Amino acid sequence: MVKIKKNVVHISSDVQELENMFSKKATRLPNTRKSGPEDTSINIEVPVYLREWIKGEDGVKLCIRCKSRKELQDLVVDEDGEYITLTGLKANLDSAVNFLKFNFDNLQFVDKLKGVKQELKTKLTKALSALNNQHKVEFSVPSEIVGMLVGSNYKKIKQMQEKYKCTIKITDDEPELVKITIIGNDKSTVEMLESKLHILRRE
């Protein structure tokens, strides 16, 4: 259970209160270990990217698991989610610190994966959108005049592609014909280039 106090968020062992807060069955058992003279306290700094998360439902559940499994006397998260104070036997504290750090690292890794997934999804969406918006024309010309149309080392084609932001492909269609494909995002530009190449063909 989480009790909001003036300066801290306190993780208690009251199962009934935990059930009331989250409206679901709590499966953890209350920690009944009594405090002793060998108990000590340490502070753990919460990574910046988890400070809001640690104060939420999932963060509270993680703290409850840590307190119960590592048999801590107390576990307190400060109000800003910056620090977790652990109280208990030294051996238990060391184990609890490793438990929390392991979970923090896993959460960071998962968060990075989500970021990469979202980035790839955005790029794919943009690529599909661009593909759907593209215009294409195809026509064939005699192979003997291709050199005149494309220029030395495809110089004319490269200049057109750079100037009009389009793609022009030259492929063998038939033994005596070459297929020219023009692809671009602007329909009028694609049609204009088609006409331009037809004019060069007649010249």
Taking the chain (203 residues) in runs of 10, the rounded mean pLDDT of each run is 40 44 38 63 89 89 91 89 90 92 85 76 77 78 79 84 86 80 83 75 56
Q: What's the whole-model pTM score?
A: 0.42
Q: What is the pLDDT of residue 183?
A: 86
Question: Do 12 and 109 share a structural domain?
Answer: yes
Q: What is the pLDDT of residue 173?
A: 66
3-state secondary structure 31-45: CCCCCCCCCEEEEEE
> Is 70 a member of any domain?
yes
Question: Do 111 and 142 share a structural domain?
Answer: no
Question: Do 150 and 62 share a structural domain?
Answer: no
Residue 165 maps to which CATH number?
3.30.1370.10
> Is 15 a member of any domain?
yes
CA distances 147 to 25, 93, 184, 192, Å, are 78, 78, 23, 20
Of 118, 141, 156, which residue sits at a domain end? 118
> Is 127 a member of any domain?
no
- Give the range of the structural domain holding residue 183, as residue numbers without chain letter: 132-202
Q: What is the pLDDT of residue 185?
A: 81
Q: What is the pLDDT of residue 93?
A: 92
> Is 79 a member of any domain?
yes
Q: What is the pLDDT of residue 137?
A: 83
Q: Are strands 40-45 and 83-88 parallel, antiparallel or unpaired?
A: antiparallel
